[in-house]
Amino acid sequence: MNPPLLTTFQAKIYVTLRPSVLDPAGTAVRSGLEHMGYDNVDQVRIGKYVELSLSAESEAAAAEQLDRMCDQLLANPVIENYRFEISATH
Partner 1 sequence: MKFGVIVFPGSNCDRDVAMVTRDLLEQPTRMVWHEERDLSDLDVVIVPGGFSYGDYLRCGAIARFSPAMQATLDHAQRGGMVLGICNGFQVLTEAGLLPGALVRNRDLNFICDRPTLRVERTDFPWTQGYSRNAVITLPIAHGEGCYYADADTLKSLEDQQQVVFRYCTPEGELADAANPNGSLNHIAGICNRQGNVLGMMPHPERASDAMLGNTDGLALFEGLLNAVQAVA
Contact positions toward partner 1, by CB under 8 A?
A: 20-22, 24-25, 28, 48, 73-74, 76, 78-79
25/16 Cα distance (integer angstroms): 13
Q: If 0-12 CB within 10 Å is exposed, 13-18 middle and 19+ buried, where does residue 75 land?
A: buried
- Residue 88 Cβ vs partner 1, minimum distance, rounded to whole Å: 26
Q: Which of 45, 42, 39, 38 is nearest to 24 (CA)?
A: 45
- Residue 76 Cβ vs partner 1, minimum distance, rounded to whole Å: 6
Query: Which of 7/76 has CB closer to partner 1?
Result: 76
- Residue 45 Cβ vs partner 1, minimum distance, rounded to whole Å: 13
